[in-house]
Amino acid sequence: MGLFDFFKKDKENKEQQQALDEGLQKTKTNFFDQLSKAVVGKNTVDEAVLDDLETLLVHADVGIDTTVKVIDRIEKRVARDKYVSTNELDRILREEIVALLDANTETTGSRAILDRPDSPGHPFVIMVVGVNGVGKTTTIGKLAHRFHSAGKKVVLGAADTFRAAAVEQLIVWGQRVGVPVISHGMNTDPAAVAYDAVLKGVEMGADVVIIDTAGRLHNKVNLMNELSKIKRVMQKVIPEAPHEVLLVLDGSTGQNAFLQAKEFTRATEVSALAITKLDGTAKGGVVIGISDQFSIPVRYIGVGEKMTDLQLFDRHTFVNSLFKK
């Protein structure tokens, strides 16, 4: 890496950190304002403080089960250390949340594409799932931008053929990013689109193929059958495809995101998560709860509208930003 590249990378890192800090501002303000009120006038972390902390975590949409785990960890530390002041609570809470996220964090999968100097001989295929309205197609466009900016060859497949807007939106994203989009239009066979997109990726020596899919949950059997068919058809071209099934969730919906994750993990084998719209909510704790409860790594988080605002999820960076005052 040359000196110019080093300064460019440093600038990008600072811009991403700023975007993350700003994106989590509503969550931070809401949580820490309430935490300050809970500990005012108290010197030690006692049962009353822990009860208030439990309520705050639940309201931040960390989720009941994950909240219980966090509180249990803190209770054990308080019992072990005998004396824990309220001034130390931020640090202890931060450390225990990071420890909880450690179990479900990895750097393989699609994020590893950025570290590959060359294509391994065939494209890495990502099938993207999620209900309508969560930012699925936008996330695909931002992913394409991320890979394309890193010098990777990208192909998009518009296999959400039940919504004209989805097909049109993906084509627009392809034009903005400068990558080809395979589309058969609306009301066509999604599996055929996916097949042609993967075939195109192989023919042009692409590094990654990203397939959009329909986001209907009203009939889980139909959804499961459709996703299974898409997989089978892609495997005629690349037997291992898809290499990653990325579930996109809207972080601003809080507990509804948990319900969507349950439904999709029952319908298909989800291997990674992208949580969007964290900049528009005070419930950023949903990232912690979903990562813990589903034992599926959070791969990306969305913290703004710009193409660069889809970030690789790093547990330490996320938690440090969450606790930055």
Q: Name the residue range of residue 116's domain.
A: 109-318
More confident of the two residues 67 and 255: 67
Asked whether residue 10 is domain-assigned, the answer is: no
Of 59, 84, 102, the residue at which a domain comes to its end is: 102
Whether residue 132 has pLDDT greater than 90: no
State how beta strands 310-312 and 244-250 pair. unpaired
Q: Band the pLDDT of 5: cuts 50, 70, 90.
A: very low
Asked whether residue 238 is domain-assigned, the answer is: yes
Show the tokens assigned to 255: 């507990």
Please give the average per-residue pLDDT across 33-49, as a whole number.
Answer: 77
Q: CA 145 → CA 102, 133, 138, 169, 190, distances in Å?
A: 28, 20, 11, 14, 23
219 and 160, same domain (yes or no) = yes
Of 102, 132, 153, the residue at which a domain comes to its end is: 102
- pLDDT, position 170: 96
Summarised one tens digit per residue, pLDDT across range 228-257 is 999 999 999 999 999 999 999 998 888 888
State how beta strands 244-250 and 124-129 pair. parallel
86 and 129, same domain (yes or no) = no
Q: Which helix (H) or strand (E) holds 154?
A: strand 154-158
The mean of the pLDDT values for the chain is 84
Summarised one tens digit per residue, pLDDT across range 71-85 is 999 888 888 877 677
123 and 266, same domain (yes or no) = yes
- pLDDT, position 9: 53
294 and 154, same domain (yes or no) = yes
Give the count of alpha carbons within 13 A of 192, CB side only: 8
pTM attached to this predicted model? 0.88
Say how many domains are in the chain. Answer: 2
**What percent of the chain has pLDDT above 90?**
35
